[in-house]
Amino acid sequence: MGRAVAATRESAPVFVVGYMRSGTTLLHSILAAHRDVFSSAYETKYFEYFALFHHLYPDLCDENARAGLIQTIADIILNGNVRPIRRAAPGYCPAEPPLPPAEVAALMAATQPDPVYGAVYRQVFDHLAARAGKRRWIEKTPQHTYFIDTIKETLPGALFVEIVRDPRDVLASKKRYKEVIATSQKFSQEERAYQAVQRVYDPFWDALAWRMAIRAVRQAEVRWPDSLFTVRYEGLIAAPEETLRAVCDFLALPFDAALLDVKWVSTGEGVRQDVRGFQTDPLGRWRSALRPAEVSIAQTLTAPYMRAFSYERAPVGWRGRAGLAPLLVRSGGEFFTRLYRRWRMGGVPFMMATLTNYRRELGKLLRRR
């Protein structure tokens, strides 16, 4: 994997992880408001797309390749420009490089004599944080849930804050957002097409994916017990100060009261709305948003971890049982649609990784593990 980059706990990189629609954006926004913290503009997806970066810049001893990687990482951190790299050719460099030549030269020197991909990522992030007058940085990519080992191997001091949310509310949120994309006039045609590839909903596959994400962190927790801290979304909303003090203590970060005045973005109706503070409206939305059969699927597939995180099962009655067959038939067709969308998003490697993950989790489910 290459040379490791050490860090003290007070300067360690922080990664917010968790299954999508679980509150990762909210938690990231809270921690990013800290006076000592620099944050990425959006999800960098760096370790999720690790293989793609290897493909685009196969030889980091080549100065042109390393300079291109530095500019690309900076562009992703500062501007969130991940989309262009998915179909880029080797040697890609942003059309408008964000860093001046002098800063690139300094970063090139800092990654000598043995440049590796994780070290370059760390150096660029460290540089941008220092330039902003911040002592450390934070990043949020939900899919990094599955790459904790890779991150720890390249950034040994990295710390992770996982946020977990009731799987039924996660499904309700995904279902609602899919409906917004289909009906809202606020998205451009290009943005709607992109969002439609990313924002999918199926109660079977999404419940299974929630289970996979929780399991991935539990397995990583065995190997890196001192590097992981878990927050329940419901606990954060109900007791924000107590929860955030515990998070800050884990991160060796002084508690900052500004964290309680968090600003976050709601797009629930397809309209961007800036919201301040902690909103209780999203809690328990599944009760009105999900049909009994959807609740039944979610509770059945996620039962072990619902118990572990104290989420109580709800009775579904005959309506839940009667609606299972049609939903499962539709889920069979959705499987191939999801593979196609993963191919659209990240090519064959991303699609095959998804297929492998589903196969493993289905096997464990059948063995009742």
Mean pLDDT of 28-44: 95
Instruction: State how far the alpha carbon of 98 is from the alpha carbons of 72, 90, 137, 200, in Å.
Output: 8, 19, 18, 33
Which range in 15-19, 154-158, 180-184 is most confidently predicted, on average pLDDT? 15-19
User: In the listed set 276, 297, 332, which residue is the last one of a domain according to the structure?
Assistant: 276
The pLDDT of residue 191 is 54
Summarised one tens digit per residue, pLDDT across range 115-136 is 789 999 999 999 999 999 999 9
Asked if 40 and 188 sit in the same domain, the reply is: yes
Asked if 236 and 292 sit in the same domain, the reply is: no
The pLDDT of residue 270 is 43
Summarised one tens digit per residue, pLDDT across range 143-177 is 999 999 999 999 999 999 999 999 999 999 999 87
Asked if 121 and 207 sit in the same domain, the reply is: yes
- 52, part of any domain: yes
Q: Look up the pTM and report it.
A: 0.85
Summarised one tens digit per residue, pLDDT across range 276-304 is 778 787 899 999 999 999 999 999 999 99
Has residue 64 got a pLDDT over 70? Answer: yes
- 120, part of any domain: yes
Beta strands in the chain (DSSP E): 14-17, 37-39, 136-140, 159-164, 228-232, 263-266, 273-276
Q: 183: burial class by Cβ within 10 Å (0-12, 13-18, 19+)?
A: exposed
Summarised one tens digit per residue, pLDDT across range 89-105 is 999 999 999 999 999 99
Q: How many structural domains does the chain have?
A: 2
- 79, part of any domain: yes
Pick from 140-154, 172-186, 242-256, 313-327: least confident: 172-186
The pLDDT of residue 182 is 55
User: In which residue are the tokens 């995904």 written?
Assistant: 174
Asked if 360 and 225 sit in the same domain, the reply is: no
Mean model confidence pLDDT for the chain: 85
Q: Which domain holds residue 344?
A: 286-366
The pLDDT of residue 176 is 87
SS3 of residue 297 by DSSP: helix
SS3 of residue 138 by DSSP: strand
Has residue 137 got a pLDDT over 90? Answer: yes
SS3 of residue 159 by DSSP: strand
